[in-house]
Amino acid sequence: MLRERGLRVPEDVAVVGFDDMLPVAEQTDPPLTTVRQDIEEMGRLMARLLLRGLDRQGAEAAAAAAPTSVVLPTTLVRRASA
């Protein structure tokens, strides 16, 4: 769609994706710059939080102990689109 409008990536428009879906990000034209997050670590953390909540006595204790948010680190994977 950008090319149809006469725009060039990255000269005119930078394009950045999220989740670093391989091999798709590497096979686009130009290869897509993305933000990568550690999906496996996210799954491990979710399982630990779930098990911790199940170990607590009563739903109130589990709700009080559960974090309201968790922020995991991300990495910018620079490719040709930005």
Containing structural domain, residue 65: 3-77
Q: How many domains does the chain have?
A: 1
**pLDDT averaged over consecutive 10-residue blocks of the chain (82 residues)?**
94 94 90 95 90 71 67 95 94
Q: What is the pLDDT of residues 40-60, one digit of tens each?
A: 999 999 898 888 777 766 666
Q: Is the pTM of this model over 0.75?
A: no
Q: Which of 39, 34, 37, 38 is nearest to 77 (CA)?
A: 34
**Which residues sit opposite 17 in a β-bridge?**
34
φ, ψ (nearest 5 deg) of residue 37 = -125, 150
Q: Token pair of 9, please?
A: 């990536």
Q: Which of 4, 32, 7 is nearest to 20 (CA)?
A: 32
Give the 3-state secondary structure of residue 67: coil
**Kind and range of the H or E element at 17?**
strand 16-18
Domain-located, residue 16: yes
Domain-located, residue 82: no
